[in-house]
């Protein structure tokens, strides 16, 4: 019997608003050949899987989609961790740490027991602490445990700068770094539009940018998620598209640079901590981290952000 060659398999754990939107994005873009949905309430996973099967009706695509169990992770290329406690209004991402960590304590050992040796993509917040925890619980190489980190914040930043300047997003190089949360920073010295430094653009177009305040701008990028959460209970489309870009970069061996939550090993003077930094993603996970030459004040901001992540990591049972 002929064997299927190079079939890719993704398991999404947690089929709430975020996990199910990630699954839909994976199906619409036909990123993998096999998609398994796992959820504590099995009926919910079944319903999402069947609904997704029906979405193939007009697409002409062939894809195996079904609900499953943790045992199905054994031969998966990627396991997406989207399971999370319910959102409580007014809560920060860091406030969810203990409940999120308890969920991981239940799930990660069972996933590893299945024989899983692929790559974890972590969405669950606080994503920097939870990615670190999953790496410790699983014993997987840090290059194979990747948090979505500041990838979505960076997408928001790119979109907003492109919108202000009236240019295509592809012409904007911009990232956020540090914690995916309140303490993240925008390294303005590294941001460019059409190859020109954004700080130089502001300097050369004083009239156009006279009301433009870098601090207010950075604050708005941080706070927009809270406004979305209050209005609709979760951010879904942005994080789903971001997660699928990360999965694509890995499954298609793209060697693409995306700012993700990664284990630092001396980069930026930090070790044994996960934080949002630009990383080269390929078939084995993280190939290398990109180390920017940050300005002194940017470096201080990054250190401050990493210190907050470390403080919360101390609450984990490691």
Residue 168 and residue 140 share a domain? no
Mean pLDDT to the nearest integer, 84-97: 82
* Residue 3 domain flag: no
Mean pLDDT to the nearest integer, 273-287: 98
Asked whether residue 37 carries a pLDDT value surpassing 70, the answer given is yes
- Convert the pLDDT of each residue in 282-294 to its tens digit: 999 999 999 999 9
Residue 138 and residue 13 share a domain? yes
Report the CATH number at residue 77. Answer: 3.40.50.720
Asked whether residue 1 carries a pLDDT value surpassing 60, the answer given is no
Residue 131 and residue 96 share a domain? yes
> Which of 147, 170, 201 is at the close of a domain?
147
* H or E element in which residue 304 lies: helix 296-313
- Convert the pLDDT of each residue in 203-232 to its tens digit: 998 887 877 888 888 888 888 888 898 898
> Which of 80, 114, 147 is at the close of a domain?
147
CB 279 within 8 A of CB 289: yes
* Residue 94 domain flag: yes
Q: Which residues are annotated as a binding site?
A: 14-19, 39, 44, 93, 123-128, 148, 153-156, 158, 173, 235
* Separation of CA 181 from chain center: 12
Residue 296 and residue 241 share a domain? yes
For residue 88, the model assigns a pLDDT of: 75
* Residue 112 domain flag: yes
Residue 176 and residue 130 share a domain? no
- Domain containing 53 equals 9-147
Asked whether residue 38 carries a pLDDT value surpassing 50, the answer given is yes
State the pLDDT confidence band at 5, using cuts at 50, 70 and 90: low
Residue 216 and residue 82 share a domain? no
Residue 19 and residue 143 share a domain? yes
How many Cβ atoms sit within 10 Å of the Cβ of residue 108?
A: 25
Q: Which residues are annotated as a binding site for substrate?
A: 93, 125-128, 153-156, 235
Residue 198 and residue 290 share a domain? yes
Q: Report how many domains make up the chain.
A: 2
All residues at 6 or more sequence positions from 166 whose CB lies less than 8 Å from its CB, including other chains: none
State the pLDDT confidence band at 71, using cuts at 50, 70 and 90: very high
Separation between Cα atoms, residue 288 and residue 262, nearest integer Å: 10
- Convert the pLDDT of each residue in 143-184 to its tens digit: 999 999 999 999 999 999 999 889 999 999 999 999 999 999
> Which of 129, 147, 165 is at the close of a domain?
147
Kind of pairing between the strands at 145-147 and 271-282: unpaired
* H or E element in which residue 53 lies: helix 42-55
Give the whole-number percent of the chain exceeding pLDDT 70: 98
Catalytic residues: 180
pTM over 0.85: yes
Q: Which residues are annotated as a binding site for beta-D-fructose 1,6-bisphosphate?
A: 158, 173
Residue 309 and residue 173 share a domain? yes
């Amino acid at each position: 019997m002929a064997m299927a060659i190079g079939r890719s398999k993704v398991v999404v754990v947690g089929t709430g608003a975020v996990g199910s939107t990630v699954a839909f994005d994976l199906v619409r873009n036909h990123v993998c050949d096999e998609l398994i949905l796992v959820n504590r309430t099995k009926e919910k996973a079944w319903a999402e899987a069947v609904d997704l099967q029906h979405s193939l009706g007009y697409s002409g695509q062939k894809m195996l989609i079904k609900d499953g169990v943790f045992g199905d992770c054994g031969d998966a290329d990627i396991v997406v961790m989207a399971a999370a406690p319910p959102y409580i209004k007014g809560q920060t991402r860091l406030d969810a740490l203990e409940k999120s960590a308890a969920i991981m304590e239940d799930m990660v050992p069972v996933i590893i027991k299945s024989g899983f040796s692929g790559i974890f993509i972590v969405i669950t917040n606080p994503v920097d602490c939870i990615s670190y925890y999953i790496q410790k619980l699983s014993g997987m190489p840090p290059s194979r445990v990747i948090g979505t980190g500041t990838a979505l914040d960076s997408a928001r930043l790119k979109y907003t700068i492109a919108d202000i300047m009236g240019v295509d997003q592809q012409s904007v190089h911009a990232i956020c770094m540090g914690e995916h949360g309140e303490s993240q920073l925008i390294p303005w010295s590294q941001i460019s539009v059409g190859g020109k430094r954004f700080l130089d653009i502001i300097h050369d177009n004083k009239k156009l940018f006279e009301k433009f305040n870098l601090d207010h701008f950075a604050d708005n990028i941080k706070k927009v998620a809270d406004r979305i959460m209050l209005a609709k209970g979760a951010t879904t489309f942005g994080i789903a598209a971001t997660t699928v870009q990360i999965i694509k970069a890995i499954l298609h061996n793209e060697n693409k640079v995306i700012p993700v939550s990664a284990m630092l090993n001396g980069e930026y003077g930090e070790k044994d901590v996960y934080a949002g930094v630009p990383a080269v993603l390929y078939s084995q996970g993280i190939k290398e981290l990109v180390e920017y030459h940050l300005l002194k004040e940017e470096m201080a901001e990054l250190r401050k952000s990493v210190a907050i992540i470390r403080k919360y990591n101390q609450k984990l049972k490691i």
